[in-house]
Amino acid sequence: MNAIDILVAEHGLIRQFLDNLTTALGKMERGEKIPKTFFEHSVLFSRELVDKHHHFKEELQMFTLLAQKHGGQFDTAIEGLRNQHENGRNHVAEIDYAKEGYEAGQESATTTLPEHLDCYISMLRQHINREDHRLYPMAREAYSAGEMEGLLVELQRADEKAGEGFFETNRDRVLKMGALLNG
């Protein structure tokens, strides 16, 4: 497995998480109530795995190396992706803020929570597709074997730093989210 394959595999888990969010949104649109615990797991998964871990790896290691490669040729694409990371954080902050009010049946939170959920899902799906089909293939082309190897070491270091059980905890969160929707 090379460095890019690791990031693609993380996208797989993030897609499963997004599938749960899509199911939850569909239920909300049909007037079903989603338990607050579902949103607690969602916010934790998004902050810990999507943002602090996956986006951090991309921004600090992969984007930086790619930006140095072709004298700014990729700068606009990278800037757009960074902005989407930031956008995602903002939507998740709003979801986190609205979840108590939603649980209590407050009018504004009942409106804003699905709105942010909808924006977050479509933005992140589009973002991941752009990376999988545009940016990552460009990186595979642009990096030398040595650079790819160096990137792999950096990504593995980030995995070690995340600590033992980090992926299991987050995989478990996605499973718990699914169970809450089927319960």
Nearest distance from residue 65's CB to Fe ion, in Å?
A: 14
**Does residue 94 bind Fe ion (CB under 5 A)?**
no
Q: Of 86 and 172, which CB lies nearer to Fe ion in the complex structure?
A: 86
* Best CA proximity match to 10, nearest among 147, 123, 179, 174: 174
- Provide the minimum distance between the beta carbon of 59 and Fe ion in the complex, in angstroms, as a whole number: 8
Binding piece for Fe ion, criterion CB under 5 A, among 17-25, 50-58, 63-71, 167-175? 50-58
Give the span between the Cα atoms of 177 and 183, in whole angstroms.
Answer: 10
CB of 56 to Fe ion, least distance (A): 10
The nearest distance, CB 35 to Fe ion, in angstroms, is 28
Instruction: For the segment 58-77, give every residue that binds Fe ion (CB under 5 A).
Output: 58
Query: What mask of x and - would describe binding to Fe ion in positions 119 to 138, judged by CB under 5 A?
Result: ------------x-------
Tokens read off for 79:
């800037």
Size of the site for Fe ion (CB under 5 A): 2
- Residue 64's φ and ψ, nearest 5 degrees, are -60, -45
Nearer to Fe ion, 38 or 143 (CB): 143
The C-alpha atoms of residue 178 and residue 152 are separated, in whole angstroms, by 32
DSSP state string for 35-65: PHHHHHHHHHHIIIIIIIIIIHHIIIIIIHH
Q: What are phi and psi of 82, to 5 degrees?
A: -60, -45
Residues lying near Fe ion in the complex (CB under 5 A) = 58, 131
